[in-house]
Amino acid sequence: MKKALLTGCTGQDGSYLTEFLLAGGYEVHGIKRRSSSLNTDRIDHIYRDVHECRTPFFLHYGDLTDASSLATMLHDIRPDEVYNLGAQSHVKVSFDIPEYTADVVATGTLRLLEAVRRTGLKCRFYQASSSEMFGSAAPPQRESTPFHPRSPYGCAKLFGHSITVNYRESYGAHASSGILFNHESPRRGETFVTRKITRALARIKCGIQSKLYLGNLEARRDWGYAPDYVRAMWLMLQQDTPDDYVVGTGEAHTVREFVELAFERAGLDWKEHVVIDPAYFRPAEVDFLLADCTKARRELGWEPTVTFRELVRIMVDADLDQVERQIAGGLDELRRAAAGVSTRA
Ligand code: NAP
Ligand code: F7E
């Protein structure tokens, strides 16, 4: 049985990749960082199966800022494949905490690569690179497009990307970088724009929120569906030769188009609810990202399976469903409390 080790297993991509690898017969080891509140929502359903169905999934405390924890895990687990997905991944936040972002995203990648090298493991390595490295480069962006990052996050990812290429060239590491364009899902973090929109409109529809505050509606992104993108990560590590691949849909839309389509799906008029708030504009914006993923299609046989319209529908429906269930759950709780029976001990 192959073993995989993931940083960022509690994140959007980490949760889908864990499911994907377990379904493919892997033993999966995930690194989670210590948090004062629970941070395993996205993988709790998998962890439940560990006890009921003996799923080979193991969680370990560790952190990309802590080299010794990474070295210990590599030494003890001896994985066949390492996927480095852990990151402070919010672009706007990276302007507020640039040093921390660089520590986790840039130096963290170096720490992990160096731990692999020093352990002498012959494992394959996946680096979660980002289209944010292209920044202001003219679209469409492909592997040969010069990088011009526009945020501390983009700069840190560019270091992570470059050091991965460097370990490949210097030490012969089987290290590949996926330069992934935006990918979303119902598990997307609540402060990224797509999920912020779908979550807010579900709350508006259910009468518990009235306004949605947004920044730049004119930015264009190439948005895909996250489960498709974790398949691309795995495909990269199955190649004989490590390489870098751009992964995206080849179609770009503005934030405004996402808003329009999402509100239309929920039967709401977005103009009545969306308010532009300068607080959500960035010191430097990335205006237009559009992937040319000819290489990934040709060499990996990878194709996206979900269109932009379908993605919006999936996310809107999931958030409407979640808010309705929360309201129903809250009412049940109130009824139980009124009857003198509480589920909260
Ligand atoms: P995400 O949902 O923000 O997940 C990030 C993960 O990193 C979480 O598990 C988080 O843990 C973990 N993490 C944060 N700080 C850490 C630290 N110091 N040490 C170890 N782990 C840490 O991100 P995602 O959307 O799944 O993206 C996965 C990776 O792909 C990230 O590297 C991201 O930068 C990159 N990427 C994402 C996209 C995209 O559109 N989604 C596109 C290109 C590249 P907590 O759960 O405890 O916060
Ligand atoms: O912003 C605009 C914002 O935060 C998209 C990360 O996964 O993808 C992601 O980075 C656009 C930007 O994603 C709001 O200005 C308007 O132009 O959803 P986002 P991102 O910055 O593209 C890349 C590929 C990654 O690697 C990153 O890890 O939407 N926008 N109004 C807004 N954005 C946010 N967050 N909130 C707003 O209110």
Q: Annotate 41-101 with DSSP letters as a single string.
A: GGGHHHHHHHHHH---EEEEE--TT-HHHHHHHHHHH--SEEEE------HHHHHHSHHHH
| Residue 275 pLDDT exceeds 50 | yes
- Please state, in angstroms and rounded to a whole number, the distance separating the CA atoms of residues 217 and 297: 30
- Please state, in angstroms and rounded to a whole number, the distance separating the CA atoms of residues 71 and 65: 12
Q: Which residues contact 65 (CB under 8 A, 6 or more apart)?
A: 103, 104, 107, 108, 111
- Please state, in angstroms and rounded to a whole number, the distance separating the CA atoms of residues 341 and 257: 47
Give the Cα-Cα-Cα angle 103, 139, 101 (nearest 5 degrees).
Answer: 10
Span from the CA of 181 to the centroid of ligand 2 (angstroms): 11
Q: Which ligand is nearest to the CA of 132?
A: 2
Take atom 7 of ligand 1 and give the residue whose Cα is closest.
86
Q: Which ligand is nearest to the CA of 106?
A: 1
Closest atom of ligand 2 to 193 CA is 18
Secondary structure (3-state) at 214: strand
Span from the CA of 87 to the centroid of ligand 1 (angstroms): 4
- Please state, in angstroms and rounded to a whole number, the distance separating the CA atoms of residues 201 and 259: 9
List residues with catalytic annotation: 130, 132, 153
How much of the chain is helix, strand and coil, in % rounded to 5? 50, 15, 35
Q: For a ligand 2 pocket test, name from 85, 89, 91, 198 the mutation site with the most ligand atoms within 8 angstroms of its C-beta.
A: 91
> According to the model, what pLDDT value does residue 52 have?
74
> According to the model, what pLDDT value does residue 47 have?
80
- Across the chain, mean pLDDT equals 95
Q: For a ligand 2 pocket test, name from 84, 109, 179, 182 the mutation site with the most ligand atoms within 8 angstroms of its C-beta.
A: 182
Average pLDDT over residues 89-101: 98
pLDDT band at 341 (very low <50, low <70, confident <90, very high): low
- Of 172, 192, 174, nearest to 87 by C-alpha is 192
- Please state, in angstroms and rounded to a whole number, the distance separating the CA atoms of residues 336 and 326: 15
| Residue 345 pLDDT exceeds 60 | no
Where do the domains of the chain lie, and which CATH numbers do they carry? 3-185+223-247 (3.40.50.720), 193-220+252-289+307-340 (3.90.25.10)
Establish whether residue 97 lines the binding site of ligand 1, counting it when its CB lies within 6 angstroms of any ligand atom: no
Span from the CA of 229 to the centroid of ligand 2 (angstroms): 18
Secondary structure (H, E, C), 273-330:
CEEECHHHCCCCCCCECCECCHHHHHHHCCCCCCCHHHHHHHHHHHHHHHHHHHHHHH
Establish whether residue 12 lines the binding site of ligand 1, counting it when its CB lies within 6 angstroms of any ligand atom: yes
Average pLDDT over residues 32-55: 87
Q: Residue 109 is inside which H or E element, if any?
A: helix 108-119
pLDDT band at 148 (very low <50, low <70, confident <90, very high): very high
Note the maximum CA span of the chain.
Answer: 69
- Please state, in angstroms and rounded to a whole number, the distance separating the CA atoms of residues 202 and 190: 13
Establish whether residue 37 lines the binding site of ligand 1, counting it when its CB lies within 6 angstroms of any ligand atom: no
Take atom 12 of ligand 2 and give the residue whose Cα is closest.
219
pLDDT band at 313 (very low <50, low <70, confident <90, very high): very high
> According to the model, what pLDDT value does residue 54 have?
80
Average pLDDT over residues 218-236: 98
Q: Residue 167 is inside which H or E element, if any?
A: helix 152-171
Q: How many CB atoms lie within 10 A of CB 210?
A: 11
